[in-house]
DNA sequence: CTGAAAGCGCTTACAG
DNA sequence: CTGAAAGCGCTTACAG
């Protein structure tokens, strides 16, 4: 069984391969009969276009690269984190319905990635997460359309899809304040300038300020976004402070806190309230259900693809920003005091 | 800045493009000086091979397709389920270090997928999960090397990576028996012949038999692998039966059971023991920690890639099976009775 | 409205 | 040991 090529379609229809190609791509207006003729022949022969060939000829690959952070360099990628799965899922779907395929890569976000990008002649790249300055520069030089997701860079001229983390931190804190809490612990990952934690902290601070509650430095706890670390921190919060509520800047952190408090027989939310950030599936699974800041991850992936497609089609590289709306997902981990 | 091609490398070295190509691929033995010369020129010029071109010429794409189930047809893929994330992560990593890129697709597992496979000229396909008979037939006709993961088909002549589900069900049940339980509820998804649930049930049955405990049909509960459904079932188990333990055939099901029992103030494991299956991250997060049947997901993905690469390289299509070992991950959800 | 033909950047029998 | 050349299957200016 030989492979069917465009030549076969041409022979079948009695047209030239040029005309068949135009009929398929629609890049030239042809009489409807001709187009229909080609369509029929394609169906009859079971012809499928060879993308390698078209990619070579047209210099377009219909391939989108997605960069995702990985735990250890040279090791596997981390999309164990449900957030990555969800957004990837959304990107894949939204790219596919627009005729693009997706190559996901947990490659070290360094030169090796540009190698892949060139090799495969990627039409566009979606970068999820934050990387080194060098990486963004290389990206820029590569001249491939790029959309950043959650990059936490303010100084760059990229298209970007992001969360309003300051507002998220503000909303979470305000929610606790509205429930009567004044002694609110802040439990987060490392506080890098410009990073997520820092922004959510800024929101925390401004909500407290607005509520007339001074920030108490002894209520601030920073570790990693890690379940076990969070457990230790939660224990310290409970033993070293008199906080009535904890704002955890990630659901995974909140999970650790809940686990530890459960073990210590401290009742949530009766004795202490907890609010998270992310609205992962697990927020619903745990007991009590975790009240948390939710974002529409599907929407986030969709927007990223849309913005990328727009850039690829229109060749406009102007920076643009889309801020994904957030909302509070109320469950049972926060009580009135 | 023009694109650097093999021609530039040829010019730079004073060799022909044929020799450069051979030097790069190693498909012909060349004097080491020549190879080094080529390497140097590549580095100097920053040459990157155009995969579209080489793919067209050699009829190899260095692309592996991974098929993953999706929730609703035409909708997004489900790799919200952490299992998919993890195995995908492993596949991507193991493929990459062997020079392959991965195209993940939640496409309806039907003809449209073969379209993709042909378009991209996939070198191999890894299929995760169970699909329709038609899909497997199409797969076979496509003549592309295939490795199945968790397909739950016994009648096919494919290479396959799977779990010993019967043994898993046996081990879980035996573990409960060894802890003194005799009234053990079986809570699973739908019991399709040849499906996961059915196999784990078989293990459950044989362990009971071995332990001299008759199977009590009123202890059998089937719903979907779904958190909310599982909650309802757990409530029924507790109210309608006198079981002292529940074997949940998936961690997600166990999560639902734990949540419901927590709400009902039924103490785990003091009043009822629970064992799960999968060892997802959440098994560690919940309270009490879930004792469950674990599998090495990284290993599973790695094996799938290895088997696929072997098939692609050696052109041997003999069926072959790799059974991923399982182990009991002990946490706090099972008590001696 | 349609087609002949160059060209995209590789690989690989084949010849020497 | 090295190279000239055909060919992979498309796209696309260009001519008519």
Show the DSSP H helices in A179-280 as ranges. 196-210, 227-240, 251-263
**A265 and A187 within one domain:** yes
Q: Helix or strand or coil: residue A97?
A: coil
Question: Which bases of chain C come closer than 7 Å to a protein CB?
Answer: 1-5, 7-13
Number of structural domains found in chain B: 3
* Two structure tokens written together for B312: 């692609």
> Does residue B97 contact residue B148 with C-beta atoms inside 8 Å?
no
Q: Is residue B335 part of a domain?
A: no
**B172 and B159 within one domain:** no
Domain hosting residue B74, numbered range: 63-163+298-325
**A148 and A70 within one domain:** yes
Mean pLDDT on B242-266: 94
> Does residue B324 contact residue B300 with C-beta atoms inside 8 Å?
yes
List the CATH number of the domain containing B70: 3.40.50.2300
Residue whose entry in the numeric block shows the structure tokens 């005729």 = A99
**A192 and A72 within one domain:** no
Residues of A in contact with B77 (CB under 8 A): 89, 92-93
pLDDT at A175: 97
Q: Is residue B105 part of a domain?
A: yes
Please tell me whether any atom of strand D lies within 7 Å of the Cβ of B18. yes
Residues of A in contact with B106 (CB under 8 A): 89, 92-93, 96
Q: What is the CA A6 to C1' C16 distance in angstroms?
A: 36
* Two structure tokens written together for A75: 């090791």
**B221 and B104 within one domain:** no
Please tell me whether any atom of strand D lies within 7 Å of the Cβ of A215. no
- Residue from B263, B233, B89, B185 nearest A284 by CA: B263
Please tell me whether any atom of strand D lies within 7 Å of the Cβ of A29. no
Q: What is the CA B48 to C1' D3 distance in angstroms?
A: 22
> Does residue A90 contact residue A300 with C-beta atoms inside 8 Å?
yes
Question: Which bases of chain D come closer than 7 Å to a protein CB?
Answer: 1-5, 7-13
pLDDT in tens for each of the 337 residues of chain A?
567 888 888 888 888 888 888 888 888 888 888 888 888 888 888 888 999 999 999 888 999 999 887 643 333 444 456 677 778 888 988 998 888 999 988 665 566 788 888 889 899 999 988 788 888 888 888 888 999 998 877 666 788 998 899 999 999 999 999 999 999 999 998 887 777 889 999 999 999 999 999 999 999 999 888 889 999 999 999 999 999 999 999 998 999 999 999 999 999 999 999 999 988 888 999 989 999 999 888 899 999 999 999 888 776 667 788 998 899 999 999 999 8
**A245 and A172 within one domain:** yes
Instruction: Cis check for the bond before B288: say yes or no (omega within 30 of 0).
Output: yes
**A175 and A247 within one domain:** yes
Say if the Cβ atoms of B50 and A121 lie within 8 Å. yes
Classify strands B291-295 and B326-329 as parallel, antiparallel or unpaired.
antiparallel
Say if the Cβ atoms of B85 and A85 lie within 8 Å. yes
The shortest C-alpha distance from A155 to chain B (Å) reads 26
Of A25-34, A92-101, B118-127, B149-158, the range with the lowest mean pLDDT is B149-158
H or E segment at A291?
Answer: strand A291-295
Does the pLDDT value for residue B1 go beyond 60? no
Distance between CA B168 and CA B276 in Å, rounded?
Answer: 10
Does the pLDDT value for residue B306 go beyond 90? yes
Q: Is residue B55 part of a domain?
A: no
Residue whose entry in the numeric block shows the structure tokens 């909500």 = A207
**B148 and B90 within one domain:** yes
Closest alpha carbon within chain A to B49: A119
Does the pLDDT value for residue B80 go beyond 60? no
Q: Which of residues 47-76 of A touch strand D (CB under 7 A)?
A: 47-50, 53-54, 56-58
**B10 and B67 within one domain:** no
**A195 and A93 within one domain:** no
Cα atoms found within 13 Å of the Cα of residue B154, Cβ hemisphere only = 7
Q: Which residues pair with B126 in a beta bridge?
A: B66, B147
Q: Is residue A1 part of a domain?
A: no
> Residue B108's pLDDT band (boundaries 50, 70, 90)?
low
Q: Is residue B186 part of a domain?
A: yes
H or E segment at A137?
Answer: helix A133-142
Q: Is residue B208 part of a domain?
A: yes
**B136 and B223 within one domain:** no
pLDDT at B79: 41
Q: Is residue A243 part of a domain?
A: yes
Mean pLDDT on B281-302: 90
DSSP codes, B141-171? HHT--EEEES---SS--SEEEEE-HHHHHHH
Digit-coded pLDDT (tens) for B15-70 = 888 888 888 888 888 888 888 888 888 888 888 899 999 999 988 899 999 988 76
Distance between CA B301 and CA B87 in Å, rounded?
Answer: 5
**A142 and A39 within one domain:** no
Say if the Cβ atoms of A80 and B89 lie within 8 Å. yes
List the CATH number of the domain containing B11: 1.10.260.40
Say if the Cβ atoms of A80 and B281 lie within 8 Å. yes
pLDDT at B25: 85
Q: Is residue B334 part of a domain?
A: no
DSSP codes, A201-220? HHHHHHHHHHTT----GGGE
Range ranked top by mean pLDDT from A52-66, A140-154, B168-182, B299-313: B168-182
């Amino acid at each position: 069984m030989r492979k069917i090529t465009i030549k076969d379609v041409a022979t079948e229809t009695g047209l030239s391969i040029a005309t068949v190609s135009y009929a398929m791509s629609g890049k030239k207006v042809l009489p409807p009969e001709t187009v229909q003729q080609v369509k029929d022949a394609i169906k009859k022969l079971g012809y499928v276009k060879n993308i390698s060939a078209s990619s070579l000829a047209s210099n377009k690959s219909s391939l989108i690269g997605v960069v995702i952070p990985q735990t250890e360099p040279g090791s596997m990628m981390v999309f164990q984190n449900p957030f990555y799965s969800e957004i990837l899922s959304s990107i894949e779907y939204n790219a596919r319905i627009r005729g693009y395929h997706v190559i996901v890569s947990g490659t070290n976000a360094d030169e090796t990635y540009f190698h892949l990008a060139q090799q495969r002649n990627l039409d566009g790249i979606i970068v999820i997460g934050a990387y080194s300055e060098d990486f963004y520069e290389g990206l820029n030089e590569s001249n491939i359309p790029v959309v950043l997701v959650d990059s936490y860079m303010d100084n760059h001229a990229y298209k970007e899809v992001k969360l309003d983390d300051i507002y998220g931190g503000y909303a979470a804190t305000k929610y606790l304040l509205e429930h009567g809490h004044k002694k609110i612990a802040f439990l987060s990952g490392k506080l890098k300038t410009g990073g997520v934690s820092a922004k959510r902290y800024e929101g925390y601070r401004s909500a407290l300020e607005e509520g007339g509650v001074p920030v108490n430095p002894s209520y601030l706890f920073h570790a990693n976004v890690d379940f076990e670390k969070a457990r230790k921190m939660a224990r310290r919060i409970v033993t070293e402070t008199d906080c009535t509520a904890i704002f955890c800047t990630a659901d995974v952190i909140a999970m650790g806190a809940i686990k530890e408090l459960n073990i210590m027989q401290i009742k949530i939310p009766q004795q202490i309230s907890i609010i998270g950030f992310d609205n992962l599936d697990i927020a619903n699974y745990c007991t009590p259900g975790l009240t948390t800041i939710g974002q529409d991850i599907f929407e986030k992936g969709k927007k990223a693809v849309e913005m990328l497609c727009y850039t690829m089609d229109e060749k406009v590289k102007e920076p643009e920003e889309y801020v994904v709306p957030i909302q509070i997902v109320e469950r049972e981990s926060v009580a009135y005091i």
